[in-house]
Amino acid sequence: MKAMLMIGAACLIMGLGGCGGSGTDKNEENDPSTKTVQVEKKSKVKKVTEGYTLDQYLNVSVLGLKPLMTIKEVRQELESKGFEIPTGGGFMAPSSPLGLGCDEVDRINKCRIGQTQSTATLSARTDSETGVQETVAPFFFLDIDGIEKLYSVKYTKPFADPIHPENMKDALLKRYGKANRVETRGDANKQELFIQYLMHANLPSGEAYDDVLTEQTVQSLFGETKAMRASITRMQCFNNHLKYYDVVIDERCSYLMGLDAYGTHLFFEAIKDARALQINVTSDKMIVETIGRFIPEAAQTWKREQDVREKIKELESRRNQKAKGLSDL
């Protein structure tokens, strides 16, 4: 089981570097490329715009916090930057200072693989000169190895004095790379800078994912088009095999079911919300937020798949049992 841990599997299967560690990332590692993928049928062409790839997203840091970091790593990173972490939870708060509190003996609901926080514990640091208080809310989920890991961060930085949001654009784009969307909203008196990065997982190799037709495209956020997932997923293949056990598995499902248990295909199928990173800057504050919902979604799919595989094994075992007790008939 440990060989398939989320962070290890992601790094080994997809060749990622710097997964889960603390520290800041290199700007060039986070510069998402934009290119066109042609999807043809009846001479029609659809454009697919890429944002952050999986390895780029896992190396994006906010205050040194990266996706898949453990609670211990997040705590160390925040404390090293002067943030104060609360010692206890409150109403509608987690039962532990950070995370879901899955290891608490008095927890009412047992944590499930892929379970996420709905309410995060705010950590804060205050500028001794201006009195301005920055806050950061780290959101954790339960990974397939039973360890709580980071999947989303919301950082809020108020400004001591009003600023002109447009003046921050170049520095933010240099920090996080070329964005999918950059907008300056409002007028000169009340301006907002909005920067957004979308998530894109490359189509896994293999014939099962190669037939992306024109009809199989969907409108992504804000009118951008991205390729829809293959018409049948690996999870559907396992479900169909359980339901129609005696039916021969077709070539497509045979390929999908033969892939690594925890690989690129799983993240590809989990990306339903394409938002990866969003930045909002107004005259009085800046909010930087990593989304990363696809990470716990992938873990949930992995757990559902394991449950179905167990049922298939039970079915196979029953099928292989020899009839007993017939001598008394």
| Weakest mean pLDDT among 55-69, 262-276, 281-295 | 262-276
The arrangement of strands across the sheet holding 148-158 comes to: 123-126, 133-142, 148-158, 285-290, 275-281, 191-198, 181-186
Domain boundaries, the chain: 2-319
For residue 319, the model assigns a pLDDT of: 81
| Weakest mean pLDDT among 56-65, 180-189, 255-264 | 255-264
For residue 20, the model assigns a pLDDT of: 37
The pLDDT confidence band at residue 35, using thresholds 50, 70 and 90, is very low
Higher pLDDT, 225 or 169: 169
Q: CA of 318: how far to CAs of 156, 322, 328, in Å?
A: 57, 9, 22
The model carries a pTM of 0.72
In this model, does residue 23 exceed pLDDT 70? Answer: no
Tell me if 227 sits within 8 A of 207, measured CB to CB: no
> Contacts from 296-299 at CB under 8 Å and sequence distance 24+?
296/114, 296/115, 296/116, 296/141, 296/142, 296/151, 297/114, 297/270, 297/271, 297/272, 298/6, 298/114, 298/266, 298/267, 298/269, 298/270, 299/6, 299/113, 299/114, 299/141, 299/142, 299/143, 299/144
Structure confidence by residue, pLDDT tens digits, 119-138:
888 899 999 888 999 999 99
For residue 38, the model assigns a pLDDT of: 33
